[in-house]
Structure 1
Amino acid sequence: MGLSIYLLEGCNSDQCKREIARINKILEEEHLPTYNKPHTSQVEESDLPEIEWLYSTSEPLELLAAKFIENPNWIIPINRQDYYPISATSHKKIIQKGQSHIVCLPKISGYYVPVYFKSLLFHRSPLLGSSIAFRDELQCLAIKLNLDLGEYTPHFGALRAEREQELEKDAFGSEKWTLLCLYNLAVASIRYGSAIVFVG
């Protein structure tokens, strides 16, 4: 099964207005700041990052993030064969607590909005997270992985060409590539005031 991840745009449409109203109703009920209309109209649609990948694509990164939550002092090994993923039981506990935007990445539907709150609204439908907290988590994980996030790059083809040689030599190159894509989506969400949309 596939997952599409993109920025909410075209917000003069009735559908987009309904989605924002739906999001804001949940935010208000949770006593959080509401989400304003995005200003993606300032940029060409082709300049907004988007991803389509399999559900399983992000799972290695999610497990890696969970490993650091389980043990903040854990040091990632140089060799892949020395890496032992987090147990399924511990992983499930972290998901149930909704304490990580990376580990709890939506697989069916959800939004990460440019409003700051630390824990996901995991009990709501649709699932709501904060793209600001998401970016912060990705930055912290990048430091632990010794990954240079570089400049904001919305075109993932250009990003792949720029970083491919580096990541191909890395034992955790696939996780780092996933992190780079999600980080640029989070940065775009904050820059343009637009929610990240997850559709499975």
Structure 2
Amino acid sequence: MLHEVVHTIGRSMADTLACQMPRPVRDRFSPALHSVAHCCDAMLTNPGASPYGAEHVGISIADRVVAGEAIIIFADAHPRRGLASASVYIDAIVAAAIESQRGQTRSARALEAARRISRAVNTSAEHCPPAEVRQRHLIELAGRTLDAAALDRLRLMSGCVPLVAIVGDTRATGATRGQFFHSVTQMPGRWLGTAAPAGAA
């Protein structure tokens, strides 16, 4: 993949996660880190990934993020469970974080949300939950994963596209089972403003 030979935007995003991990853990999360990089490069910042149409010519998915929104990416360390992403309102993530303080432990609820996301990714189109449900699962995961410092950073971001990248291990066994790592960063904005509906979040 491109990010393996060139220092792409996606590679920069994955690096923010990788630097939090000791080497043995990084090896276990390698598929998830590659998924984050691929998602940024091939989908979010690639104009060719947008639907065709006069209003979408030359616009990347990140260009359509509006003020008050962030992009969430979740990638599973299980090599066959894939990734999911969506643009969501930052306020919804904050509300989910407040709600997550009640009931079960946050780590157990994060694992539960991550497994729902991974199941949806691997479900056939006719049985896949609606987009709003998949989006809600990502919001729940972010709310149960981000700490207070990450939430504060997210709320203070302006004039950019905030990215919440989360990787987690949903496998039933293994040394990293149930572990999650997150990063709240801004996508390098050299492409922003090149299209009429480009957002400033």
Q: TM-score, normalised by structure 2?
A: 0.29
Q: TM-score, normalised by structure 1?
A: 0.29
More relative contact order in 1 or in 2 (CA 8 Å, sep 6+)?
Answer: 1
